[in-house]
Structure 1
């Protein structure tokens, strides 16, 4: 694992504020993330844990480009032992993650425990990420992808654990190949990729156990 050169130093002058109450806010966000993965397709909301961007602007504080839900999720999940890959260079987000969590940034998606894709059109093939090994399937990437909307795209039917029968979602902004590439990973179970689709302060969990049918 090679730390990214862009993360060599923390730029304190470009530091986005993190959680006001790190212990309580981390627990709150983690519960939301866990619920989203255990109930695939349910829209979860993360609020009241980070300064609003307008407040940051009034105080001349830079704001990480990541949507609120993505930034909060990374703050809650990452630590010094979880390498992070960002699909687009972001000095503000990188500095905030390193300062608040200690997580190193890496240059290659294969090296990441967590990956954030701010522009879904730049999402690399899912085979670029680590799916874990049969003996250690938990050592796979958790992927966070920002989408245009969670409700205004073509309907997609979900089946699997955590869903009583079926559940329909309608995210927009993902490349069409995402669903095909995800289905191609299914035979690797228990290996695979857990994914969150994020939009603003909301998110949807897509664990590796969820099967998808395009309507």
Structure 2
């Protein structure tokens, strides 16, 4: 289940965290001032979605990447035309002589049109943009597909639509068994409609179809 949490106080600029049940990864929509956004939440963000780069939607980007650098992760940033140049300018405005080149990687997806997304890579310490490819979709991972519309705000402003993928859930309260690898084995059997697969739980072997009700 997707859950949206506003991380800005009433008089602050906007920033929204999108969380997914049973996942440690989150998504961040806009980088406005956000007093309620914790360092732990920032470090769990796998993708950032910028609607436009007016200061009230973009001013806290530096504070975001400050807590992401050093993670060694690849983080996706999606945004309107020229977002790649604006990200590059922010990153190059600092001195980076003490940073490792594997500290982080940003993949920037610049929305040119509904059918054209330019994908760039940028890494420390020099933060030089590299155009990787052009694609016709914005974002997809194991949990969501993200579609978009380009709106007019006297500049391009992107409205994002998060669509959660179908997933198999496990009802822990309905089972008296201890957690273990048998849960993932059962999910795989269910996905493959393998009703005869043997699933071992502790010292007992069950037929997968006898456990599908969980």
* Same fold flag (TM > 0.5): no
TM-score, L = length of structure 2: 0.33
Higher normalized strand content (fraction of residues): 2
